[in-house]
Amino acid sequence: MKRIIPLALILSVGLSVMACSGKGNYDAGLSANYRLSGDAADSQCVTEDSVITIGQKDSGKYIESYELVFDAPEGKDISIAYRTHIQDAGWCQWSPSETEMAYEQYYGIDTIQIMFYGKDAFMYDVYYRVAVVGEDWQDWVSNGALAGAPEEHRVIEAIEIRIEINEDYKSSKWTLTEFTDDSGNQAMFYTLLNNDDGTLVVVDGGWDANTEQVRSVIGLFGGTVDHWFITHYDEDHASVFNAIYNDPDGIEIGQVYASPMDYDYYLGFAVDRPWETPWVYETFLAQTEGDDRIHYLCRGDEFEIDGLQIDVFNAYDQMVVDTGNPDVANNTSLVFKITGDDDSILFCADIRYDLGMQILDMYGDAMDAEYVQAAHHGNNTVPYEFYEQVGAQVVLFDGPAWLTQTENYPVRDLIAQCRDNGITTYEFETAPNSFGFN
């Protein structure tokens, strides 16, 4: 989980990520046990020079299961969460300390992720690396990033973990997190967690294949989504909501905010655009009909949730129709800003160039935000000037490497332009990307 220091401190140090600072290693409080293939019993991890080792390098045996145990320092609100990809079986979902990561047939583990969460989570960075059977150690990654290769199914024989103390950290009231999508495609899934009272805000959720990850994150954060924003009705944004609304399986959903859309108008364009997914909207409408928790937002709406100010700059209305753009589904996107005491994030969803620049002209400085979610995953949409004008200091691109790092798509050039002009960018490659938000 990528961590940057709260914005007030960022301004004084130039938007740098809190990395290994040499301010002290931390190994007390974290322990582990594991089982290797062919072994009848669990073994305890080895700790040396503040590095915890799970498994046995060069043993030729893969890790069948492991369990991390974390005891937070007294008086600190910090917990560890981790998940694992099992060869030929898929993901075990985000789980807290003392959860066995394994599959009932004990297939090999090929990928891991580890992160901290809680009000004092920014006190630490967790670094880890893996060694697959027959190969050397891979590079260190940190704070939730993938270690391993789920698409290659190469099983892991050893894991090393170390924790670095950030002595200058500041606790944050909220934690903002951008998650990746288990489909391997572009998508959108964000959370804002109030570390004081547990209020959880979710934005979108992603493809249907991401449903179990979203369930596990909601469960990790308390099991209740107090406020759920659905920006628009494409598969990579609304499918998870539809699945969980249909089968909550213990998840409680509070208030839901969405953009209205004229179904017949949308369908008139969608029939000639085979990539459109009208059934997602049809499902949303059918499931939520008559539910008074559903709130259709309008351009210009302003309201507050749990001390956060919400300002809506785009929702489906005549202005969307007047653009004449056949991409009705994307231009229906809610564009809105969430503002706390010190920080703000602008969600652009999949707004297109024409409407994006038009609403920027309309609202001007009211759209200014430190954090900006890149419109349409940064692909074929609003230009760099948009991010410059809203004062973005961090831009979040909701896409994997095949979208963000190849010459096949213009996203790479937009990311480069942002970085060349001092704007920090994040992508799925390092997700979960997590930030203190006050």
pLDDT of residue 127: 96
Find the farthest-apart pair of alpha carbons in the chain and give their distance in angstroms, rounded: 69
Any residues with CB less than 8 A from the CB of 207 and at least 6 apart, and which?
181, 182, 183, 185, 187, 235, 236, 239, 240
Quick one: how far is CA 336 from the chain centroid?
18
Angle, CA 418 vertex, CA 18 and CA 146 arms, to 5° = 45
Rounded CA-CA distance 311/313 in Å is 7
Class of the domain covering 174-437: alpha beta
Domain ranges of the chain: 25-165, 174-437
Any residues with CB less than 8 A from the CB of 389 and at least 6 apart, and which?
360
Reference 81, options 115, 51, 57, 54; nearest CA is: 115
Sign, Cα dihedral of 175, 74, 26, 217: negative
As given in the structure block, the two tokens for residue 72 are: 């937070």
Cα 367 to Cα 32, 388, 429, distances in angstroms = 47, 11, 27
DSSP letter, residue 17: B
Quick one: how far is CA 6 from the chain centroid?
18
pLDDT of residue 105: 72
Packing angle of the helix pair 211-220, 235-246 (nearest 10 deg): 60
Sites in the chain below the pLDDT cut of 50:
2-24
* Residue in the block written with tokens 């069948």: 64
pTM: 0.92
Q: Where are the beta strands (DSSP E) in 205-324?
A: 224-230, 252-258, 294-296, 302-305, 308-314
